[in-house]
Structure 1
Amino acid sequence: MNNVREELEKIEIPKELHERSKLGIRSAKAEKRKRKLSKKIIISAAASVFFISSIGVGAASIPSFNHLLSIVSPQLALLLQPIEMSSEDKGIKMEVVAAMNDEEMAVIYVAMQDLKGNRIDETLDLYDYSLTGARAFNSQIVDYDEASNSAILRIQANGGEELSGKKVNFRIDSFLSNKQIFENVKVDTDLNEVTKNKPQITLLNTDNISSGGQIFEEVEKQDTIQILKTDQKEIYLPEIEFMHISNIGFIDDRLHIQTKWERDSIDDHGFFYLTDDLGKKIIASNISFDGNKYIEYIFDKGPADIEKLKLMGEFVANGNHITGKWNTTFQMQAVQEEKNKNFRQNFGTWTAEKMTVSPFGVTLYGEGKFNSAAEILVSAKMKDGSIQIFDSTISLNEDRKVQVKFLSDLPVEVSNIDSININGVEMNQ
């Protein structure tokens, strides 16, 4: 998976997770390459650690469950619990294959198959969906079979402590497919000319904006922030109907690119980056305001840095929007092996006060404002001397309550953990 794709997947979604945020544009002049978006998935803790139970005798009679076993890691294959609950509408079948939760997270595997057409493809992305009692959703394809028009997705949600032992309903009301991605897009703008013109700027109140990237902490500390004045330019890009560049210029030695979005865009998104002669990529921070109608991308690069840099981007068009009614009801079963530990550490914008360890990973609880741009290094030393790294992060920040879960590439055997290390601070288990 290339660096640009990784950055696209890491773009922060403000507000509710199932509410789509338009965090980019799709552009094209020279060097554009248009193709279907294919998500390459490596089955890891984020995709495999979540079903800690034994396989029942009847599991062999479930074709979708058997197929799931064939694509996940051997460690997980010994732990999965089947669900086998399905729903069909408009010629599309949805089946909940497996599910599990701990005190913070619920994860289910869902299979979808188009029985009458080709509305399911490798770009399948759930749009309007829910799991009762859970919040902060995301979904990702872990397998796609073109011959049968079917795919398996991993659905992940916070709120696991409210689900243990309860019957829950998983519902899908719409999904997206036939997405297209535009990679290595060169934006036809002369940045050296931009340095010669002083743009009009304005102050924006930070109370009603969302931000991501390195500018996050700066925005949090200020009541207002300088941005480009809106609607000063109309730079339209070929084949782009859902947005245009509404201003571009430098503010305090930073390159700002402002975009304006159409209100009826479903899930078109992407990001800008600068690249040098060696291909090194510099990703922009972003500020969204006016209900995500405007997104301003901010590079920590001034006029003196721009001469040898190219402005590039990677953008996604959402494709088809399929609606229907797919829902199933089933019982969640919580992971039993879990340890709680008092832990206090200041991370700048928030302070952790508690830690839990489960087969899902390590979770920190605290108060403040979580900064997704700040790196937190978490690992576990096992009793046999091996080290397990937790390099995937999922966070929830509501009413200044912070909950951050760190995931690993393999299921965690809690009883075999000797110590946990967080940013160099080691705690014995």
Structure 2
Amino acid sequence: MNNNIKKELERIEIPKELHERSKLGVRIAKSEQPKRKLKKTIAIPLVASVILIFSVGVGAASIPSFNNLLSIVSPQIALMLQPIQISSEDDGIKMEVVAAMNDDEMAVIYVTIQDFTGNRIDKTLDIYDYSLTEGHMFNSQIVDYDETTNTATLRIQANGGESLNNKKIRFHIGSFLSHKQTFEEVEVNANLMEVKNNTPQTISLDMNNIPGGSGEIFGELKEQGTVQVLKPDETEHYLPKIEFMHISNLGFIDNRLHIQTKWTGDDIDSHGYIYFIDALGDKIHASNISFGIDKLGNTNYGTKYREYIFDVDNLDINELKLMGDFVSNGNHTTGNWNTTFKIQSVGEEKKVDFSKDFGTWMANSITVSPLGVTLYGNGEFNNSSKIVVNAKMNDGSVQTLDSMTSFSENEKVKVKFVPSLPLDSSKIESINIDGIEIDF
């Protein structure tokens, strides 16, 4: 793999659970991996394809912010970018949309945020409240911070739009977070064998009245409708240096270890997760549920409590170490930054019929563009699905499209697979989807 591409890909973190921040609707604060409420979506960061679509002309070369971006991203990705250079300023902070690239349904824009008057921006900057028209699902990632100019550069991805090509879109930022504190591999000292010998008090939780959750058994818990969680505030166990949360109860329910945490709510986006580490250093992640408590002690919709649940049937907890990673943000800066601009597609899409039953949904067509392969169909997408997609090129080489993003609503399913190397659609011989080959 080209070293520049490799470096670019290494910047993109693809966590095991929902670690990536997705933005849409109302944010779930104090969550394990904070996210805006989405309608049945999975977000995995865009891995940019590499193909010469745009040439950078004299006008673009004279744009300082665009030139700076070219020094940050790989040269191959720079060739795909469309210069934008549209900015908005509020209270001494300037937000500029520097460049963008897209196909009909996926857009990536590069944005800079610069503070001229204060110290409200740092390398931990994360957009908290933002929106982009013509898209269903968003995520952002800081890719560079220039301490000298107090400027952060971010990559914003939007998925699920319809016919983005040549569309005028509006990008808005309402607030951002900065000066975060990160606490990693915090040891959670608890005598789990003693806990296992005690029967905890529990209360009922309506899984249809919670802001969210994640993990392998979350779907199973959701299907049950009503589940039992630990009675809150039976203990008050603080972790070293962690002031924004504490353990409020521990216990075993139906042979599953429940660890309940209570969050202070003093900062807007504190979050974290608890996990086991085995003898090999591998992490065993928990599922989790967020909820609140009313004045009578009954569960309700809220984020005050987060209960981490481990399925321990096949685990020897005596051989495992219980750990946690936590983050607390320091600043929450609000403002009103708005831009409107037009984007153009990186290349022509090819569409063909394709029929396959994936169990919970049926595919009926695919499209291929420089940014990847998209499946369209009807039904309900299964978040645990593993679909293997390859592109066979005319020279006999095979490219695996190993990153995925999906959108499912009103029984319409759209799943996009993105390659780690360019897809030159003029040189594709065939696309292979789960063993079914489609000739081009």
Q: TM-score range by the shorter chain?
A: 0.7 to 0.9
Contact 2:14/2:20 (8 A) holds in 1 = no
**1:405 counterpart letter in structure 2:** K
Given candidates 383, 406, 411, the residue that maps to 2:422 is: 411
CA-CA distance at 1:154 after TM superposition: 0.8
> Could you give the per-residue CA deviations for residues 320-374 of structure 1, whole angstroms, max 9, x where no partner exists?
1111222222112234411223333344444433322212212223344434344
SS of match in other structure, 2:47: helix
Contact 2:23/2:129 (8 A) holds in 1 = no
Contact 1:90/1:324 (8 A) holds in 2 = yes
Q: Which moved more, 1:246-255 or 1:202-211?
A: 202-211
Instruction: Tell whether 2:329 aligns with 1:318.
Output: yes
**1:274 counterpart letter in structure 2:** F
**1:256 counterpart letter in structure 2:** H
Contact 2:51/2:79 (8 A) holds in 1 = no
> Could you give the per-residue CA deviations for residues 253-305 of structure 1, whole angstroms, max 9, x where no partner exists?
22222223345541111211101122121111222332333322222214962
Contact 1:103/1:161 (8 A) holds in 2 = yes
Q: 2:248 corresponds to which residue?
A: 246
Q: 2:41 corresponds to which residue?
A: none
Contact 1:133/1:168 (8 A) holds in 2 = yes
- Structure 2 CA distance for aligned equivalents of residues 374 and 63 of structure 1: 44
**1:284 counterpart letter in structure 2:** A
Contact 2:183/2:327 (8 A) holds in 1 = yes
CA-CA distance at 1:190 after TM superposition: 1.8
CA RMSD of aligned residues (A): 2.9
SS of match in other structure, 1:342: strand
Percent identity reads 61
Given candidates 365, 372, 382, the residue that maps to 1:361 is: 372
Q: Which moved more, 1:175-184 or 1:68-77?
A: 68-77
CA-CA distance at 1:51 after TM superposition: 9.8
Q: 2:381 corresponds to which residue?
A: 370
Q: 1:24 corresponds to which residue?
A: 32
Q: 1:82 corresponds to which residue?
A: 83
Shift of the 392–304 alpha-carbon distance from structure 1 to 2, 3 Å rule, reads closer
Contact 2:22/2:139 (8 A) holds in 1 = no
Contact 1:134/1:162 (8 A) holds in 2 = no
SS of match in other structure, 2:248: strand
Give the paired residue count. Answer: 410
Contact 2:230/2:250 (8 A) holds in 1 = yes
- Structure 1 CA distance for aligned equivalents of residues 29 and 312 of structure 2: 25
Q: 1:309 corresponds to which residue?
A: 320
Q: 2:113 corresponds to which residue?
A: 112
SS of match in other structure, 2:221: helix
**2:277 counterpart letter in structure 1:** T
Q: 1:272 corresponds to which residue?
A: 274
Contact 2:21/2:140 (8 A) holds in 1 = no
Q: 1:281 corresponds to which residue?
A: 283
The normalised TM-score by structure 1 is: 0.85
Contact 1:275/1:310 (8 A) holds in 2 = yes
Shift of the 350–228 alpha-carbon distance from structure 1 to 2, 3 Å rule, reads farther
Q: 2:206 corresponds to which residue?
A: 205
Contact 2:141/2:156 (8 A) holds in 1 = yes
